[in-house]
Structures are given as C-alpha cells and as structure tokens.
Structure 1
Amino acid sequence: MSPNSPPPSDDVPRRNKARRRVAVVVVLSALVVIAVGLTLIISLRPGGSSSPATQGASPAPTTASSSATPTPSPPSTAPSPPGTAPSPSGTIPDTGPVPVPPPEPEPTGPGASTAPPTPTAIPGLLLGQDVTSIPGAGNRIALTFDGGANAAGLQAILSTLEQKQVSATFFLTGTWAAANPDGVARIVAAGHRLGNHSMTHPAFTQLTDPMIADEIVRAESAIVAAGGAPRPFFRFPFGDRDTQTINDVNNLGYIAVRWSVDSLGWKGTSGGMTRDAVTQRVLDALQPGGIVLMHIGSNPDDGSTLDADALPGLIEGIRSAGYGFVTLDALLAG
C-alpha cells in the first residue's frame, strides 16, 4: 500500500473515537481552569465571602432590625461602693472613684440629733468665759429667767414685763419647750429673747463631749420646733461648768452666760425665802451690766412662785436705783 492510499475502512472509527476523547479532555480541562479562575476571582473581590477564620461573626442587621427603635437599658440601681459618688444617671462613672466626705459623727444618747448645729461667730472676748456681766452696758442690767421645771409663773411674769415695758431673756430646756410650745410662742410674741438651757438639765461636768453636744443640739431642735430661736446664748444647768465644758459650748457656736446675782426665789418659802427677800437680794447686788437670774417655775415642795411675785416691785426698785434694762443681745455689740 502506497503512502497516499486511503486507510483501511476499519481504522476510521478508531480515529474518530480518539478525536472525541481528546476533545472531551480539552473541554473538561478548560472547564476546570475556568472554575478555578472564577473561584479565585470571587474570593479576592471586596465584600466577597468571608474566609473560614472570620465565619461565625454576628451577621449584619437586616433592614427590619436596623429600623427598629432600640430599648434603652434601665439605669443601675445598685448602691455606690464606699468612696465613690454616683453619676447623674445613677451609675458609677468610668473615670474611677470620686472621693466623698466622711459623714459627720452623730451625737450619742437616746433621741440624738443627726448633726451638730452650724457654729455662730462669737466675739473673741467672750470665748472661754461663762459671762457674768455685759461689758459696756453702763447702768443697764439684763433680767433672765430659766425654764426647766414647770410654767407656773410664766403668765404673771409676761404680764408684768408687758406692763413695765421691759424686755428679758428666757433660758429654756428642750423638755420645757416641748411640754410648753404655747409658752414658747407667747414669750416670742411678746418680743423677748430666748437662750438654750440644755435638753434635760444635767450637770455638764459629768458628761462626755458627745453627750454635751447631744444635750445642746436636741434642746435647740426642740426650741426651734416650738417656734423659738435660742442662738447664741447658753446657760449651764446648776451653773456647773469647767474649762472643757465652756470650750464645748463655744465650739457649738454658743456663748456661755452665767449671772451676777441669783435671786434665790427658786428656794421658795420652804427654803426660807420671801418676796421681799428676793427683791432686796437683787437690789443689793446691782452693778453696771449685771445679769439677774430668776426662774419661771414654782418650788416643787411649796408651789410658791417668788420670782414672779417679786418682779413688779423689783423692776420699780431697779429703776429707782438709776438702772435701765437690756437683753443679752447687748453682748453681741461688743
């Protein structure tokens, strides 16, 4: 068979089959290449499918969820830890603890108030003293009345002071003020001055400093509740005091006020006193700027009210001796 002779008839099918196989292989190879290429292109495009390392992250919100109004979380109601101050929303600020001043120490004792009163400015010359006279008052004296027992002589005293046009100073205990709020109101309405005489009338040198503060603060609260204002005058019960107790009183903003003469009317007739004896005792002790001590209540044994009884004649005797009258506010003028 020459080279140009046609192939035998049985070789044609075999060649056609071979060509088809080659074509299939080429097509498949091209499809594989195209598929690989498309995969690489998609994986490298921005916004394409995330890699396995980032899968599992929260999906972006849908349109419905993103348009809904979020519900705000309620503010924390838990108490602030010690040494921190809450922010306006009620939560602790992220900037760290904010120092908070420590609470004021509370006075001890039953019914103690929560804080001492704000100190009042006291003239320097009166600090450390239990004042027995009014400096610079000249021929004027101060009539003072202590109220701690009962109010038996109050009406007579107020009537006499009104008739004689004399102003006085009344030192009240807290228990007296609480028991006689109408009495406090009448004293104030008549234009008289008030002072603090402690809550329960104890001997101050037998008390601790916190107990002293408690007595003074509670008495002030009771007097104020009854409509009075005792500041800045304080009188020691029984006149019992020492350097420390005077300092305690000053530190609470009060001036300690004693007396230059005690009428001794509180002794009553059972104690050997009379109305005339009360009057004469005071007149014999008159001095410029003097402070006279008398009492509102009656003697517990005989029920006498010698100070109230002696007051009309006493005022006339003081004026006859060339003296006038003043309240303890004159102490603040110096």
Structure 2
Amino acid sequence: MPAALADGVVTRIPTSRKVVALTFDGGAGSQGAASILSTLRSQGVPASFFVTGEFATANPALVRQMAAVGPVGNHTWDHPHLTSLSDTAVRTELSRAESAVRAATGRTPRPFFRFPFGEYSTRTLALVHASGYGAVGWTTDSLGWKGTSGGQSVDSVVARVLAGRTPGQVVLMHVGANPDDGTTLDAAALPRVIAGYRAAGYGFTTLDALR
C-alpha cells in the first residue's frame, strides 16, 4: 500500500500545488452520473470515484465510463454502517464490492476505499488496511446530497466547495439524487465549480496522486 495511505483516513492530498481532487460517490442512485461524466469529459477534468458493489452491478457501463476519467475505488457492497458489523462481514463487504468493480472495469479498486457515512473505528480501519486498501475521506463535503429539501441549492454547493479550496483539497460530491426531492445538485453545480477553481488558478488531480 502507498505510504500516503498507510496511516489514518486521508482527507487531503499532501501538496503545495494549487490542485484539487474532485471525488464522486455512487451508491443509491445514478441520476446525476451521465451529466457529471459529460461535464468532466467536455471540460477535460479528471476525477475519482467511489462506488458500491451494488452500484457497479446495476450500472456497469457507467462505472466503465468513470474508470476512463479516473480511478474507481471501493465503497463497500451496500453502504452499511461498518462499525456495527463483524470482522467477517466487513471483509465480505470489501471483497464483494471489489469483485463487482473489477467485473465492470477490468481493474482492481485497490488501493482506494471510502467508508460509508465516513464512519470508522480503529478496528474497521485495520480491517480495511489488511485487505490492501487505504481510506480516503474528504476535506470538503458539498452537501449537495441533502437536496433542496435539506436547505441546499446549486448556489450553496458552488459556494461551499469553492470556499474550502486549498492545495490538495479533496471534495466529496455524489452522482445520485436526493431521495426526497429528486434533485441532483452536485451535477448541476459542477460546471460552475470547475469554472470557479480555474478562475482562482487551480487545476485538477485524482487520488492517483496518493500512489
């Protein structure tokens, strides 16, 4: 495992360069994924992704497209609260998801893993490391997943993400829709987020910078 991933949960890329890593989680739904991928491709922006095994099994073509943009990491099989599971169940979550991502992309998701809900313990982190993964968190959560029903908007997503900009910032966004209101705020905000970073002199990297 790369040294940068060998300790705790990584929340930023260690660099003084003005680059940020956009990361997108795929679990429940894929409603914003096509728009996000189209924006990334048209803007020439690389990104990183974390998908569940269920997502990869349901959306193999989308996950293949993600892998063409940047690394696709492991986000467990079905997004459980890992700290409540046994050691054996945690390992199963990891291995089932790995098989699904490999089936969709032809590549291993190692060494990148993201904990569902960002929840972890010393025990679950050790299990993740023992399975060959490092854990990646985030510097800034866009909160786009909260949707308009949670008080968010495209404007709030753009403002929150750009306000957190710092060299090596890791941004958390999602490819699905809010289950209550159906909004895909992260997808809608992405063009303005990219433009805002570029206006501030920032470029984009992927989690491969941690290898």
**TM-score, length-normalised on structure 1?**
0.61
Name the SS of the counterpart of 1:216 in structure 2. Answer: helix
Counterparts in 2 of 1:137 and 1:249: CA distance versus 1, 3 Å: farther
Higher normalized helix content (fraction of residues) = 2
Separation in structure 1 between the aligned mates of residue 105 and residue 13 of structure 2, nearest angstrom: 27
TM-superposition CA deviations, 1:221-271 (whole Å, max 9, x none): 011111243111000000001222111111110010000000000000111
Name the SS of the counterpart of 1:141 in structure 2. Answer: strand
Name the SS of the counterpart of 2:17 in structure 1. Answer: coil
Identical-residue share of aligned pairs (%): 54
Separation in structure 1 between the aligned mates of residue 121 and residue 20 of structure 2, nearest angstrom: 25
Say if 2:94 is the partner of 1:216: yes
* Paired position in structure 2 for 1:60: none
Name the SS of the counterpart of 2:69 in structure 1. Answer: coil
Say if 2:137 is the partner of 1:258: yes
2:91, 2:131 within 8 Å by CA — same for their partners in 1?
yes
Separation in structure 2 between the aligned mates of residue 135 and residue 306 of structure 1, nearest angstrom: 28
Residue 214 of structure 1: how far off its partner (Å): 0.5
TM-superposition CA deviations, 1:149-207 (whole Å, max 9, x none): 1110011001100111000001000000001111112222x332100000010111111
* Paired position in structure 2 for 1:298: 177
* Paired position in structure 2 for 1:102: none
Say if 2:158 is the partner of 1:284: no
Structure having the higher Rg: 1
Say if 2:61 is the partner of 1:182: yes
Separation in structure 2 between the aligned mates of residue 328 and residue 147 of structure 1, nearest angstrom: 16
The within-5 A match list for 1:45-60 is none
**TM-score, length-normalised on structure 2?**
0.96
Say which is worse superposed, 272-281 or 131-140, in terms of deviation: 131-140
* Paired position in structure 2 for 1:147: 26
| RMSD across aligned positions (CA) | 1.1
* Paired position in structure 2 for 1:201: 79
Separation in structure 1 between the aligned mates of residue 140 and residue 62 of structure 2, nearest angstrom: 25
Residue type of the partner of 2:57? A
Q: 1:244 aligns with which of 123, 142, 154?
A: 123
1:146, 1:295 within 8 Å by CA — same for their partners in 2?
yes
Higher normalized strand content (fraction of residues) = 2
Residue type of the partner of 1:201? H
- Greater RCO structure (CA 8 Å; 6+ sep): 2
1:122, 1:254 within 8 Å by CA — same for their partners in 2?
no
TM-superposition CA deviations, 1:75-125 (whole Å, max 9, x none): xxxxxxxxxxxxxxxxxxxxxxxxxxxxxxxxxxxxxxxxxxxxxx331x4
Unaligned 5+ segments in structure 2 are none
Unaligned 5+ segments in structure 1 are 1-120
Separation in structure 2 between the aligned mates of residue 126 and residue 150 of structure 1, nearest angstrom: 28
1:169, 1:328 within 8 Å by CA — same for their partners in 2?
yes
The within-5 A match list for 1:26-45 is none
Separation in structure 2 between the aligned mates of residue 240 and residue 160 of structure 1, nearest angstrom: 30
2:41, 2:69 within 8 Å by CA — same for their partners in 1?
no
* Paired position in structure 2 for 1:165: 44
Residue 135 of structure 1: how far off its partner (Å): 1.0
Residue 137 of structure 1: how far off its partner (Å): 5.5
Say which is worse superposed, 322-331 or 179-188, in terms of deviation: 179-188
* Paired position in structure 1 for 2:2: 122
Name the SS of the counterpart of 1:134 in structure 2. Answer: coil
1:231, 1:254 within 8 Å by CA — same for their partners in 2?
yes
